[in-house]
Each structure stands twice: as structure tokens, then as C-alpha cells.
Amino acid sequence: MPNNNLNTGTIKWVSIVSAALLLVSFFLPWVAWKDAALSGNALPVGHFFEAAKEKFGVGNPFPQFSIAFKVFWLIPVGAAASIPLTFLNKKSFWPAVVAGLLSLSLVLVYFLFSQSMVKQLGVSKSVWAITRPWLFVHAATAITIVLSAAEKKWILKTGLVVLTAAITVIGFSIAGKQAEKKIFEEKFASTDDIKADYTLSADDLLKEFLANDTAANKKYNEKVLQVNGLVSAIDVSADSTGTLRFEDSTGSYAIFSLEKNQFDKVKNIKPGDAVSVKGICSGSIFSDILGTTSISFKRSILNKQ
């Protein structure tokens, strides 16, 4: 009598090898942001947004949902469970499918987030330069383990792969827009009422970040700084928002996003004027393309001269 069980022969070993690769690659580097190599477990562990904050100044916009990322621990659990089940010809459909679909979603989040950092912040020449081969190995094995799962439901399995990819891409896009809206609508106390944690010149600030941006970010991130120097550029829009910038000879700069109530104070400032600005440091970003460092400040005001 012919054996119609798909959990035998070639497909059986494809499933076992895929599960093993999925399990191993989950703990190997997927992306490299500056000197931080992040594996697949970085998101459920909590290191993903910690590294994004330290390297790019971009933290988790929805920290209240951090606990939800723990669901990705089902990837190694499902992969590990499916290996003996498949080997013993037991039902391994759902452990394999859950591990594979979650893996596909996680891979897309890493890739799309890295791509956003490249496009918006210029952190690298391309997203391919900061992704690592294990990301694509994990993606390939995620699809393979789903399609080789022990049931003959090819249409269902293919549909689940396509649906998971679509939901992840759409969800990432929506979450990105909501994050921007949340940041834009944040209400803060006036910086004018907050005492500066540090007072220094623009030249000294830039030199400190260029010498060791990791140490400088740890020291100044989310701190109130009073910075004194000669204005390199100033831009005030019709809606009364504007930016003021200090720049050094390398092209690196500190840029201050001014509050709307500063319009009357800054409208007559010109490049070359000596000013004192107080703002909250959002950290630095190094552009591989330009080879320069930018230090951004929010809620900035012009100090009285």
C-alpha cells in the first residue's frame, strides 16, 4: 500500500533541517547598526529599541506594548518542538506553522525598520549594508518550514505566508504613521522653566560627540543643554516653527527645533550672530553617506542675552 503521509521521505527531512536552521538563526546576527549586532531575539529581549535609541535616537514609540514582543519566543519553542515531532512522524503542523509565520513577520519588521532608518536618517548607504545573511536565511527557512509542514493544505499554507507578509507590511506602515503623530502631538512643559543640566559651547559639544558619540549620547540624551555659539543657519517657517543650527568645519552640526513662541526672538537672527540656545538633546546620528554627525534638540528656546 502506498504511503500518503507527507511527513516521510524528502519533505520530512526538509522540515527537520528547516526547523533546525530556524532555531539556530534566531540567535545569530540579523542586522548591524554601527557597532551593535542584533539577532532575532533582540526584540523579545528588549535590546532592539535600546540599540535604536542609543545609535539613532529612535526609541520605542509605544512602550506600553513591549510585553507583546514576548510572543516571538514562540519561534525557537515551535522550531524546537517540531523537530522531534516531525522525526517521529507525529503531528507538527501547528508548531512549525506558528514558528514560521512569526519568523516571517519578525524578519520583515527588522528589514523595514532598518530601511526606514536609512531613508529618513541616512544611517547607511543602503539597507543591504546593515543587514546580515542570517536575516535572509531565517526568512527562507521560515517560508520553507511552513510550506513543508506535515499537512497537504498547500493553498492554506501559501495563503498564510502571503497574508502574514501583507499584514506585517501594512501594520508597520500604520504604526509608523501613528508614531509620528504621537511624537508631533506630545505636550511638554516649557523649556524656559527647566534648568539646564549642562552649559557649553557649540564647538565643545560637537568635539565631544565626534570624539565618542556613544559616551556623549549616554551623557546628554534627554538632558537639557544650554549651548552658546555662532549661528551657521536659521530657518523660520510661515507657521512660526523653525530651526537653528551650529556647524563645524567638518560639516557636522547641532540643530535645534524651536518652539513656536520663539518667533519674535529669532526672526531677526542672522548667520554669524552669537546666540545662546536651550533645548533637550535627542541624541546624535552619524551619516555614512555624508560622513558627518548631526545632534538634534527638541523644545528649544533662545536664552536672554
Homologous superfamily assigned to 191-302:
Nucleic acid-binding proteins (2.40.50.140)
User: Residue 200 half-sphere exposure, CB side, CA atoms within 13 Å?
Assistant: 16
Place of cell 534648568: 195
Contacts of 97 (CB under 8 A, 6+ apart): 145, 146, 149, 157, 160
Q: Nearest CA to 96 among 144, 40, 134, 139?
A: 144
Nearest alpha-carbon partner for 93 in 36, 135, 47, 151: 151
Tell me, what's the pLDDT at 2?
43
- The per-residue pLDDT for 1 is 39
- pTM reported for the whole predicted model: 0.64
List average pLDDT for each run of 10 residues in the chain, which is 305 residues long: 51 92 97 88 91 73 82 97 92 93 96 85 82 96 91 87 95 78 51 82 95 92 92 78 88 87 81 92 85 89 74
pLDDT of residue 60: 75
Residue 104 has a pLDDT of 97
Q: Sheet containing 242-247: give its strands across.
A: 198-201, 224-230, 274-287, 292-302, 253-258, 242-247, 233-236
